[in-house]
Structure 1
Amino acid sequence: MLRFLSAQSSFNLWVIFLAENLLVTVLALLFGWLVLQFNRKPIKAASRKEVFICILTNVINTVITYAGFWLWKHGYILLSYTLSWRILFDFVTLFILMDLAMFLFHYAIHRSVLYKAIHRFHHHYADPIPIDLFVLHPLETVGFGSLWLVMLLLFNFNFYAVFIYLMANVFFGIMGHLGIEPIPQSIRKVTPFKYLGTSSFHHQHHLNINHNFGFYTNIWDKLFGTYKG
């Protein structure tokens, strides 16, 4: 895959990366819609503003994807490609490190003037629907994307671990913006589910902006005293 991309012109790369981001968005929204349908939850239509911001987010993510590819091509981002136990190890490491980094970034935004200037835009939607995962202020999208690139620059991860992480990232994002909790409480009490950031966990954050800043887990909120069940 990377060899194929390396042989493409800059224009082709922009087209490919835009198509990739749009495809991921469509599949994520389709998954969210199917979960809501399965749970017989009325599906609220997205506004024109939400659709526009979603498209803008995809454009920004395309720029971030291109930047990541450029950094890899020029040797700034290093990846390994071996099929071994390291895939699982790197995935778990990346999952935990990104969760901590995004928790701190998210918490800092809420505790600074950046909340009113940037992040309050996302919290306009107290009762989120799947598309709201992609409804972010452009500067916040750039911030999260830059955080991701810095993580790849600092550590040498396995390529397949990165791919799995990116799928998990979208999965948790959609689950957090369903507006319902599809996972039964009996399951949510069992390890490891009781440590994960479920739909109700993130929904609580939309209802009360002073709690639940985590993304994939609730570990950091419990450690820093911002957890609300």
Structure 2
Amino acid sequence: MAQFLDALRALPTWAAALLALAENALLMGVGVAFGHLILRDTAQPQEKTLQRVLAGTALLGNAAVTLAGWYLWKHGLIHLDPDLSWSTATDLLLLILIMDLVMYAGHALAHLRPLFPLAHRLHHRFTEARPVTLFALHPAEVLGFGAVWIGVLAAHTFDMWAVAAYTVVNLLFGVLGHLGLDPVPARVRRSWVFYLVATPALHVGHHRDPTYNLGFYTTIGDRLFGTLAPDYDLERAGA
């Protein structure tokens, strides 16, 4: 691992940029393919050309964020612990809770009437969600999320394995939330764990009614601030 990190740190900027682009293309490709595998359909997304263009710009934006993170890490402004240990689990939980809170706040701001038309309305233009809709975002939102993510990493030394695991968790929640349906069986969703852990129905409900369900990984923010859809728990339980 030490040799790998040394090689990564020694990359010239152009090579790091290509690696960042390849990494994000792989994540996007796997995410979209996984989503369609669950849906088992080949339906074209609503306004497919626009969604694909936005997904392409999101890919470039995410690659730029990854490159910026690499640059800050290379120059010692971001520190990552390379050792796999018990702190991996605690760091992953901390990352999920921090990002869920920050993203809830940012999402709530994005829905304020003066701000909504500037960026986030573009995402809600696509009412029939498909996996690629996850990436159909205004460039400002892509870069805004990236800036928050880099800021969190710079503020604390996290386990690098936890950072990698968070990337997978973020992709999984994003894809499942943009299927247009909840593939998790009702008997599973009724578990006490999913009182706080968001099911795909949370974001599906947000696309139906943007005034509710502003959280991503948990329902904590929505429950605390009264933005949880009144029928979410009934839907979660399969009622």
What TM bracket, shorter-length normalisation? over 0.9
State the secondary structure of the residue aligned to 1:178: coil
> What does residue 50 of structure 1 align with?
51
What's the TM-score once normalised by structure 1's chain length?
0.95
Q: Is residue 19 from structure 1 mapped to residue 22 from structure 2 by the alignment? A: yes
> What does residue 174 of structure 1 align with?
175
Give the Å deviation of 1:154. Answer: 1.0
Partners of 1:196 and 1:216 within 8 A in 2: yes
Question: Aligned ranges for residues 74-223 of structure 1 at < 5 Å?
Answer: 74-223=75-224
* Number of residues of Structure 1 aligned to a counterpart in Structure 2: 225
Give the Å deviation of 1:112. Answer: 4.5
The residue identity in structure 1 corresponding to 2:43 is: K
State the secondary structure of the residue aligned to 2:192: coil
Distance 1:217 1:139 in 2: 24
Partners of 1:57 and 1:134 within 8 A in 2: yes
Distance 1:176 1:2 in 2: 34
Partners of 1:90 and 1:158 within 8 A in 2: yes
Q: Is residue 64 from structure 1 mapped to residue 68 from structure 2 by the alignment? A: no
Distance 1:144 1:114 in 2: 16
Distance 2:128 2:221 in 1: 24
Distance 1:213 1:146 in 2: 20
The residue identity in structure 2 corresponding to 1:180 is: L
Q: Is residue 32 from structure 1 mapped to residue 31 from structure 2 by the alignment? A: no
What's the TM-score once normalised by structure 2's chain length?
0.91
Per-residue CA distance 1:204-226 (angstroms, 9 max, x = gap) = 11111110000111111011100
Are the structure 2 counterparts of residues 153 and 52 from structure 1 closer, same or farther at C-alpha, using a change threshold of 3 Å?
A: same
Partners of 1:127 and 1:203 within 8 A in 2: no
Compare 8-17 and 189-198 and name the one that shifted more.
189-198
Partners of 1:32 and 1:178 within 8 A in 2: yes
Root-mean-square deviation (CA), in Å?
Answer: 1.1
Are the structure 2 counterparts of residues 75 and 112 from structure 1 closer, same or farther at C-alpha, using a change threshold of 3 Å?
A: farther
Q: Which runs of 5+ in 2 are unaligned?
A: 233-239
Give the Å deviation of 1:50. Answer: 0.8
Distance 1:11 1:189 in 2: 49
Structure 1 stretches of 4+ with a deviation exceeding 6 A read none
Per-residue CA distance 1:69-94 (angstroms, 9 max, x = gap) = 11111111111122211000000011
Give the Å deviation of 1:201. Answer: 1.0
Percent sequence identity over aligned pairs: 36
Distance 2:168 2:58 in 1: 17
State the secondary structure of the residue aligned to 1:192: helix
Give the Å deviation of 1:61. Answer: 0.5
Give the Å deviation of 1:44. Answer: 2.3
Distance 1:209 1:43 in 2: 26
Partners of 1:119 and 1:140 within 8 A in 2: yes
Q: Is residue 4 from structure 1 mapped to residue 7 from structure 2 by the alignment? A: yes
Give the Å deviation of 1:191. Answer: 2.5
